Amino acid sequence: MTASEDRLLLGPLLRYVDETSAAVWVETDGPATVTVTRGAATASAPTFVVHDHHYALVELDALEPGTTEAYTVALDGDRAWPPTGSPFPDPVIATLEAGRPLHLAFGSCRTSVSHDEKGNRTHGVDALRAWALRVAGQVEPADASDADLDPDRLPDLVLFLGDQVYADETTDAMREFIESRRDIEQAPWTELKDYEEYAHLYKLAWSDPANRWLLSTVPSAMIFDDHDIRDDWNTSMDWRREMEATSWWHGRIVAGLASYWVYQHLGNLSPVEREKDEVYALVRAHRGDAEQDLGPFLDEFADRVDQHPQTYRWSYTRDFDTQARLVVVDSRAARKLDPDDRAMLDDDEAAWLDEQLRGDVDHLLIGTSLPFLLARGLHHLEAFSEALAQGAWGERGGRVGERLRQLVDLEHWGAFQSSFQEVARQVMEVAAGERGRAPSTVTFLSGDVHHSYVSEARPRRGGRALRSTVLQAVCSPIRNPLSRNMRFATAVLSYGVAGPMGRLASRSAHVPDAPLTWTYAEGPWFDNNLAFLRLAGPSLRMWWVTGEVLDDHDRPRLAKVESYALDEDGNPPPREGFASKVGRRVRRRAKDDSVRER
Ligand SMILES: [Fe+2]
């Protein structure tokens, strides 16, 4: 490794890319001028400092739409990327092109353990890395005739839907780092304490050579979920009070949000949004000044947006001409937790989302880390627990409801009924053509729940007729599988009587009917996996892939888990009977035998 390659600590991460611009993010070991060169285009940016860490965002513009060209990164004029002798193809920047069918990858929940037998035994194969190896042409697919395992081009974007890093459940490598700097017998024990530890956590997550190469060549967009901060983040007022009473929570939330801005959020922003961003204005004013550490400003910002979430927006929207609009919703930081006035989104955020949910595009894609349409049994249980906690069955029931809510993670959209009802109504209006031309689909993309599925929604009996197909697609985990017991519990709550029973329970607690109902079209399945979505006019196709170890743990092959496609007019496939669906599941090879029991 050359000296300048050594100086590139993390990245390059290829982040926001559109028809004519691209943003490349790096972390370096000290002050530097970072230059990105792609063909005739070149751009430089000096580093900025946050808590002694050095970063740069290099912004290329005036690029030709629909072109793919290799690029290099140099630090102070010396080439640092790609590394000499890299076994991976040259990293490229591919600009978007109006009208070209949009191709996305998405997924969530990825722990960063080793890629050897031990890591695969406890956490299964990293689906992101298995895909990276396949894209790099380094491993064979499980089925050479399956074009989905050998795509003709890279996706336009990989969307990470939460739990990109685990700040609470730390790995051996992370614990080693923590122990090297403080006593793990003291709070917050083996959980993350400050920015320095977050910087190390991100390094562990994005340093493996295959993933690092992939993230340098496929643009990414991200949104946090609970584990990026802590399990159950903002479940309820009781949860928040409990956290705020500890000695360590303030440090965690400040470090978690400050590092989230630097490592994840900054790269989500378009050039126009960067222009308006208050923190980026600070970065621009002080980059190149190695003496000016922006850490204290970032901390103050993080503290403020935690206490007053309406003062900043983590959510964002991407328009892909008239093909698709991708709305990515923050379903964690902007919650209203007052027990008498609970909401997934505060008033500002809810008004913003209301504005984004419009038609006049072929596909409306809504990214929310938490599935909007959860397995019906779980959804009703969550609605029931919220009603209980709010006193539908008196004070004692209230305590039971709160305990239940925290014990079994009952904190999805169903546990925030007013928000669920509101967004469901808005989506139905879009799908009925009441908010502009009805899209062919309205598709929620989600993660978090450690199982994957596709659900199709329809209006409740007597509701308005829909012109759009309304779908929920979930891809979770990329690498963090459920134990077998939890899989069983999830399956029970997903099938059979759980839906109607849950409905009965929530009705008994006076939970109002939703304007829509939904059923599984595919799933659930529990593999580590990564999902893909490709649009073609009114049609949409999705598929999920996983990594399989044959003999070499370091080189898993890529295999398909499941797929789902609308017909060419955008209509759902004919419904398969329950028996044949179960039969197909059983016939499919049992996966992840090596998966840990928790
Ligand atoms: Fe989560």
Q: What is the pLDDT of residue 82?
A: 97
**E strand or H helix at 94:** strand 92-94
At which residue do the structure tokens 């899209």 appear?
439
More confident: 414 or 248: 248
Q: Report d(CA 448, CA 336) in Å as an integer.
A: 20
Q: What is the pLDDT of residue 384?
A: 80
Tokens (6 digits) for 326: 């991708």
Instruction: Give me the percent of the chain exceeding a pLDDT of 90.
Output: 79
> Mean pLDDT throughout 452-464?
89
CA dihedral (249, 255, 257, 258) in degrees, to 10, reads: 150
Question: Which of 56-60, 220-224, 485-489 has the least mean pLDDT?
Answer: 485-489
Ligand 1 geometric centre to CA of 254 (Å): 19
Ligand 1 geometric centre to CA of 231 (Å): 7
**Would you say residue 586 has pLDDT above 80?**
no
Question: Which of 34-43, 99-108, 343-352, 583-592 has the least mean pLDDT?
Answer: 583-592
* 209-217 vs 127-135: helix crossing angle, rounded to 10: 70
User: How much helix, strand and coil, in percent to the nearest 5, is found in the chain?
Assistant: 35, 25, 40
Tokens (6 digits) for 193: 């304490």
> Mean pLDDT throughout 481-509?
74
Q: What is the pLDDT of residue 598?
A: 34
More confident: 493 or 64: 64
Q: What is the pLDDT of residue 486?
A: 82
CA distances 388 to 235, 383, 494, 510, Å, are: 15, 9, 22, 10
Angle, CA 506 vertex, CA 421 and CA 518 arms, to 5°? 55
Q: What is the pLDDT of residue 593?
A: 41
**Is residue 406 very low, low, confident or very high in pLDDT (cuts 50, 70, 90)?**
low
**Is residue 10 very low, low, confident or very high in pLDDT (cuts 50, 70, 90)?**
very high
> Mean pLDDT throughout 250-254?
98
> Mean pLDDT throughout 488-507?
70
> Mean pLDDT throughout 50-55?
98
Residues 6 or more apart from 129 whose CB is under 8 A from it? 115, 208, 210, 211, 214, 547, 556
**Is residue 512 very low, low, confident or very high in pLDDT (cuts 50, 70, 90)?**
confident
Q: Report d(CA 370, CA 472) in Å as an integer.
A: 11
Query: DSSP string of 236-272?
Result: -HHHHHHHHTSSSHHHHHHHHHHHHIIIIIGGG--HH
Ligand 1 geometric centre to CA of 552 (Å): 31
> Mean pLDDT throughout 255-261?
98
- The beta strand positions in 410-468, using DSSP E, are 441-446, 452-459
Q: Report d(CA 24, CA 17) in Å as an integer.
A: 9
Counting other chains too, the contacts that 132-137 makes at CB distance below 8 Å and 24 or more residues apart are 132/210, 132/211, 132/213, 132/214, 133/210, 133/555, 133/556, 133/558, 134/557, 134/558, 135/214, 136/87, 136/88, 136/89, 136/210, 136/213, 136/214, 137/89
**Would you say residue 445 has pLDDT above 80?**
yes
> Mean pLDDT throughout 97-121?
96
Ligand 1 geometric centre to CA of 23 (Å): 27
Q: What is the pLDDT of residue 491?
A: 77
> Mean pLDDT throughout 228-233?
96
**Would you say residue 398 has pLDDT above 90?**
no
Ligand 1 geometric centre to CA of 430 (Å): 28
Ligand 1 geometric centre to CA of 109 (Å): 7
Ligand 1 geometric centre to CA of 300 (Å): 26
The mean of the pLDDT values for the chain is 92
Q: Report d(CA 352, CA 347) in Å as an integer.
A: 9
Ligand 1 geometric centre to CA of 226 (Å): 5
**Is residue 405 very low, low, confident or very high in pLDDT (cuts 50, 70, 90)?**
low
Q: What is the pLDDT of residue 591?
A: 41
Question: Which of 98-112, 274-288, 492-506, 576-590 has the least mean pLDDT?
Answer: 576-590
More confident: 6 or 489: 6
Q: What is the pLDDT of residue 597?
A: 38
> Mean pLDDT throughout 204-226?
98
Question: Which of 78-82, 406-410, 455-459 has the least mean pLDDT?
Answer: 406-410
Ligand 1 geometric centre to CA of 364 (Å): 23
Ligand 1 geometric centre to CA of 413 (Å): 13
CA distances 138 to 87, 150, 530, 554, Å, are: 9, 12, 18, 11
Q: What is the pLDDT of residue 496?
A: 59
Q: Report d(CA 45, CA 59) in Å as an integer.
A: 8
Question: Which of 236-240, 334-338, 439-443, 483-487 has the least mean pLDDT?
Answer: 483-487
Ligand 1 geometric centre to CA of 163 (Å): 6
**Would you say residue 465 has pLDDT above 80?**
yes
Ligand 1 geometric centre to CA of 227 (Å): 6
Ligand 1 geometric centre to CA of 56 (Å): 29
At which residue do the structure tokens 């993080």 appear?
302
Q: Report d(CA 553, CA 47) in Å as an integer.
A: 38
Count, residues in the chain: 598
Secondary structure letter of residue 182 according to DSSP? S
**Would you say residue 72 has pLDDT above 60?**
yes
**Would you say residue 351 has pLDDT above 80?**
yes
Q: What is the pLDDT of residue 464?
A: 80
> Model's pTM, two decimal places?
0.95
Burial of 473-494, coded b for 16+ CB within 10 Å and e otherwise, reads bbbbbbbbbbeeeebeebbebb
Write the pLDDT tens digit of every residue in 277-293: 999 999 999 999 999 99
> Mean pLDDT throughout 257-282?
98
Q: What is the pLDDT of residue 590?
A: 43
* 237-244 vs 249-260: helix crossing angle, rounded to 10: 110
Ligand 1 geometric centre to CA of 87 (Å): 34
